[in-house]
Amino acid sequence: MGKRMGRSYPQYRKETMRIGKILLLALLVVGFNACKETKEEKKEIVQIEAPVPDPMEFGFNLNDYIVVKDTVRNGDSFGKILEKNNIGYGTVFNIVEQTKDTFDISKIVAGKPYTLLCTKGDSLQRPECFIYQPNSIDYVVIKFKDSINAYKESKPVKIVQKEVSGIITSSLSGALDDAGLSQRLAFDMSDIYAWTIDFFRLQKGDQFKLIYTEKYINDTTFVGIDRIHAAYFKHNNEPFYAFEFETDSVKQIVDYYDENAKNLRRAFLKAPVVFKNVRISSRYNLRRRIKLYGNRIRAHKGTDFAAPRGTPIISTANGVVVESARRGGNGNYVKVKHNSTYTTQYLHMNKRKAKVGDFVKQGDVIGWVGMTGNTSGPHVCYRFWKNGKQVDPFKQKLPDADPIDDKLKIAYLKHIEPLKVQIDSIKIQPPKPAEEELTQQAVTALK
């Protein structure tokens, strides 16, 4: 027993013990994993059944049908969808003809959901109803089992009132993000205050408070902002109130007025583009120096609004188009005469929409942002004339819009009384500390 395959007995015994330890460790690992798998298997056996969803949707009991839910894909049409679900071309033609006065099926859009309700017991699962949802609230039902008919419906919407507030640290969008709020509120506020606050020059420390409503379906599914009913914006230490009020119930004309019933609108908008992905890249400056021209002074008599190519350009006031052309450094441009005092011009358009002689209203699209003429990037150069002289529109005291009718003023002041009390009682929520500030606070707390 002295040697085993050329090794001494002590060596052989030592190696045997080492191999035994390895095998023991392997067995322990396998056993641990087996126990782990057993536990996991036991966990999988214990299942919590999810609550059965409400079978009623679109006015149908879905339990009575084989339900096919899908999304309109690129290249899909109403006919293609039905044909691939065993509905013949002749039937499709009849459906289209008999429902065209209710809904134009050519308007179905890729990315929108649809539902097919198919008869149970039919081996081909032929649908008898097509439901299309152009948005999260409205839907179109087209039934074609025995007779063909179509109708439009809307899901019940619950309106919930909300109150929010915030402080500007960098931008309005950033303040809304910090509060976990929809950016739609930024666009709505910019519309309300478009004539009174320059949203391109908000100051750090500016404050806002809002009373607005949100829309929900099935009580819990958020489907968007309804509208702002009251707003408070403190800009440069000056407070600006805004209260919604309907001045014409027949035409459903709604506008915003301040606490003294003064219309927030002005005869001119502050900007020729909507406040979204837009910034002022260069202001009116008669002593501007340009590196491209040897750092010489070249007056800039317009205000440049940088925006993505294709952004709609809007007329800042009512008026008549007196020029619509492409010329030299201006590129594509449109010029609008508003009255004997004021004229505006919009340069570097990608494409012009308004023609000479057109009457345009405030907010009408007259062209789209581009890079025609002398420009290094997509933007619109907005020029403003007063009594034949180009001036800085941001330094002009522009005329107000028509005031509220005296007959409605008493009703308005009574309407806003509880809203003003409510918005004044909203406490301003401080901004969330930045990450580095939180780190410093934690370090300080540990000292």
Mean pLDDT of the chain: 82
Could you read off the pLDDT of 347-378 as tens digits, one per residue? 999 999 999 999 998 889 999 999 999 888 89
Q: Which two tokens stand for residue 150?
A: 């179509």
d(CA 225, CA 220): 14
Domain 56-154 in CATH 3.50.50.60? The answer is: no
Structure pTM? Answer: 0.59
The reply to whether 279-395 shares the fold of 157-257 is: no
CA distances from 80 to 128, 152, 433 (A): 15, 22, 55
Domain boundaries, the chain: 56-154, 157-257, 279-395
CATH 1.10.357.10 for domain 279-395, yes or no, is: no
CA angle 98, 100, 105 (to 5 degrees): 115
Q: CA 146 → CA 25, 149, 197, 402, distances in Å?
A: 73, 10, 60, 57
Pairwise CA distance, residues 305 & 199, whole Å: 12
Beta strands 3-4 and 365-369: pairing type?
unpaired
Low-confidence ranges of the chain (pLDDT < 50): 1-6, 9, 12, 24-52, 435-436, 438-439, 441-443, 446
Contact at 8 Å (CB) between 172 and 191?
Answer: no
* Residues 35-78: tens digit of each pLDDT: 444 444 444 434 343 444 568 889 899 999 999 999 999 989 99
Gap between the Cα atoms of 175 and 179, Å rounded? 6
Tell me the per-residue pLDDT of 384-398, one tens digit each, with 9 for 90 and over: 999 899 999 888 877
Q: Which CATH number fits domain 157-257: 3.20.20.70, 3.10.450.350, 1.10.10.10, 2.60.120.380?
A: 3.10.450.350
Interior/surface letters 178-208, b for 16+ CB within 10 angstroms, e for the rest = beebeeebbbbbbebbbbbbebbebeeebbb
Q: Which two tokens stand for residue 270?
A: 């502050």
Q: What is the DSSP letter of 86?
A: T
